[in-house]
A and B are shown apart, each in its own frame.
Chain A
Amino acid sequence: MATLAVEDLAVEFGGVAALAGVSFAVHPATITSLIGPNGAGKTTAFNAITGYLRPRRGRVTFGDEPLTGRRPCDIARRGVVRTFQKTSVFPALAVLDNVLIGLHLRGRAGFAAIVAGRRAVAAEEARLRDEAEALIAFVGLAHRRADAAGSLPYGEQRLVELAVALAARPRLLLLDEPGAGMTSAEKERLVELIRRVRGQGVTVLLVEHDMRLVMGISDTVIVLNNGRVIAEGPPASIQTHPEVIRAYLGSTRA
């Protein structure tokens, strides 16, 4: 079971520090939430951890494997998968195909075998299809499997995103505002799904603005403000933490 260790991570945009040296750890099989006012650097942290941004300094390791400096696809290969703040699906493709793409690393068929039409390739395709169906059923979208992902209502698209991310068999799943724009019924379903995912041994790190959701689901909460960690601990201690309250009040005053 691997721990995600972030050490002194710093990211700059044109001279402005989006992350000013952030350190925290995410322990295996826990649900950890990353919160903070807008612009605190949460999505930037996600981008830096998963290779979409190059940090100015700092290290990220998962277990004993360094992640810093690797490309996103290589990080995914090591079991670290993220979702995006803006709804991200493959819009013109059917839901089933979306999830099949998520299963990309689960297949091994190479160019030569595919072109030669080997039977092993067909067998693998059948297996992948079964796995995809199972994932679609897990998030409750079986009735949508043939619909184009872009045509689904917003909440369902977010579920497709989750299924795609889960298909990549993550050991660590980073969810960027998974509940944004969802109704409370949809959020309840989401919480249920996240708990089941953690129950399967997957570590979850999520960024969220819905405090009720965060405090209800998290084992640990990490608070960022102005690119720095200002608090870290179980939900109860965070809710009464003076610095956290100041950060949120300050941001509403501004």
Chain B
Amino acid sequence: MNGLVLGGTYALLGIGLTLIFGLMNLVNFAHGEFYTLGAYATFAALTLGGLGFFAALAVAIVLGAAAGALCERVLLRPLRGESIDTTMLVMIGLWIVMQNGELLAWGGVAKSIPHPFPTAPLTLGPVGIAPLRLFVVAAALALIAASWLVIQRTRLGRAMRATFQDRETAALMGVRIDRIHTVTFAFGSALAAAAGALLGPIFLAYPSMGDLASAKAFCVVILGGLGNLAGATLGGLVLGIAEELGAGYVSSGYRDAVGFVIIILVLLFRPSGLFARAERIG
């Protein structure tokens, strides 16, 4: 059950990153920082802004999108034609700035994010689950479904898919590539922020929480294949469950190693991802 909680949020992180990585060919090392941003934004909205829990979540998501759009316009657009090394370095710089910014703003002590759910677990058949976790799973699934709808059913989603498959043709057909890039980055960052906002109340919020989130997100992207939405969703769930099993059977200290091991194994043996269907040409 915990595997689903983690899995759902990993899927959110993964979908956001696979869109960014796949469509913009950008290694977004700062992805985890938007996750952290989501958590702290929720905290701020609740404690400083006095908003309700669900409103705070919404604020976090919107803030994630806005921050993402801003970063894309200011940092990434000028570097559009550069090599992938250059953009990687910029994202690493952004990572450092965001993480230390949060450290300075909030201090290094972890913050606990209050939530309105009762702590007594509900019993669903043989398992007992905390209502908060149930909510997180439900919200994550809802957001995943919403993302799917946007990508598959809307004009925007079509434009994004077209840009991913064949940028030049898409541009010729009138797709504004610049705008698609901004939207994609904002969308991906918003999903990361959502993941942070959802997991924040369960775990705690601290400045370096994004590092592991980034690593997990990359793992999910690699499992599912670049730009592959279904793969990212499945990958997220697989990772969440694998971690739970790993922690249970091997040792909890090595739980985070599961993600790293998966990255290494998949990249070595099936670089296009476990769930990828498209052929790689030459």
Q: Do A and B come from one complex?
A: yes
Interface string of A53-64 (1 = CB under 8 A from B): 100000000000
Q: Is A153 located at the chain interface by the 8 A CB criterion?
A: no
Residues of A within 8 A of B281 (CB): 13-14
Q: Kindly state whether residue B279 has any CB partner on chain A within 8 Å.
A: yes
* A15 to chain B: closest residue by CB: B279
Across the interface, do B282 and A14 meet the contact criterion of CB distance under 8 Å? no
A35-81 interface with B by 8 A CB criterion: 47, 52-53
| Minimal beta-carbon separation of B272 from chain A (angstroms) | 14
Docked CA distance A14–B281 (Å): 8
Task: Decide if B282 touches A52 in the complex (CB within 8 Å).
Answer: yes
Q: How far is the CA of A53 from the CA of B282 in the complex (A)?
A: 6
Chain B contacts for A52, CB-based, 8 A: 282
CA distance A53 to B279 in the complex (A): 14
Interface size on B, residues (CB 8 A): 3
The A interface, classified by DSSP as helix, strand, loop or mixed, is: loop
Cβ < 8 Å to A, chain B residues 224-282: 279, 281-282
CA–CA, A200 and B49, complex, Å: 83
Nearest opposing residue in chain B for A14, CB measure:
B279
A156-186 CB mask vs B (1 if < 8 Å, else 0) is 0000000000000000000000000000000
Measured as residues with beta carbon below 8 angstroms from the partner, the interface class of chain A is: under 10
Chain B residues within an 8 Å CB radius of A53: 282
The answer for the CA separation of A53 and B281 in the assembled complex, in Å, is 9
Q: Which residues of B contact A14 (CB under 8 A)?
A: 279, 281
The answer for the CA separation of A105 and B279 in the assembled complex, in Å, is: 35
**Which residues in B have their C-beta under 8 angstroms from that of A47?**
282
Q: Which of A1-33 contact B (CB under 8 A)?
A: 13-14
CB distance from B174 to the nearest CB of A (A): 26
Task: Tell me which residues across on chain A come within 8 A of B279, comparing CB atoms.
Answer: 14
Complex Cα gap A47–B282 (Å): 10
**Chain B nearest Cβ from A18, distance in angstroms:** 10
CB distance from B156 to the nearest CB of A (A): 28
Nearest neighbor of B279 in chain A, beta-carbon distance:
A14
Q: Which residue of B lies closest to A53 (CB)?
A: B282
Contacts of A13 in B (CB 8 A): 281-282
> CA–CA, A53 to B280, complex, Å?
12
How long is the Cα–Cα vector from A14 to B277 in the complex, in angstroms? 12
Minimal Cβ-Cβ distance residue in A for B282 = A53
A199 to B281 CA separation, bound complex (whole angstroms): 39
A11 to B92, CA, bound (A): 41
A52 CA / B279 CA spacing, docked (Å): 17
B20: min CB distance to chain A, Å: 26
- Give the distance in Å from the alpha carbon of A14 to the alpha carbon of B282 in the complex: 11
What is the bound-complex CA distance between A52 and B282, given in angstroms?
Answer: 8
* Minimal beta-carbon separation of A19 from chain B (angstroms): 13
A68-B281 Cα distance, complex, nearest whole Å: 18
A-contact bits for B90-128, CB 8 A (1 contact / 0 none): 000000000000000000000000000000000000000
Residue of A nearest to B281 (CB): A13
Q: In whole angstroms, how far apart are the Cα atoms of A13 and B282 in the complex?
A: 9
Cα separation A14 to B279 with both chains bound (whole Å): 7
Docked pose: A13 CA to B279 CA in angstroms: 9
Q: Which residue of chain B has its CB nearest to the CB of A13? A: B281
Q: How far is the CB of B282 from chain A (nearest CB, A)?
A: 6
Q: Considering the chains assembled together, what is the distance between the CA atoms of A210 and B281 in angstroms?
A: 30
Cα(A47)–Cα(B281), bound, Å: 13
- For A47, the closest partner residue in chain B by CB is B282
Cβ-closest chain A residue relative to B278 = A14
Closest to A52 in B: B282
A87 and B281 alpha carbons, distance in the complex (Å): 22
Shortest distance in angstroms between A26's beta carbon and chain B's nearest beta carbon?
24
Residues of A within 8 A of B282 (CB): 13, 47, 52-53
CB distance from B100 to the nearest CB of A (A): 34
Q: Which residue of B lies closest to A44 (CB)?
A: B282
Q: How distant is the Cα of A14 from the Cα of B165 in the complex, in angstroms? A: 15
A43 to B45, CA, bound (A): 60
In the complex, how many angstroms separate the beta carbon of A133 from the nearest chain B beta carbon? 32
With A and B bound together, what is the CA distance between A18 and B61 in angstroms?
A: 48
Once bound together, how far apart are the Cα atoms of A106 and B23, in whole Å?
43
Chain A residues 142 to 162 lying within 8 A of chain B, measured CB to CB, are none
Q: How far is the CA of A13 from the CA of B281 in the complex (A)?
A: 7
A73 to B109, CA, bound (A): 55
The 5 A-B residue pairs whose C-beta atoms are closest, nearest first, are A14-B279, A13-B281, A53-B282, A14-B281, A52-B282
Interface residues of B (CB under 8 A from A): 279, 281-282
7 contacts between A and B (CB under 8 A): A13-B281, A13-B282, A14-B279, A14-B281, A47-B282, A52-B282, A53-B282
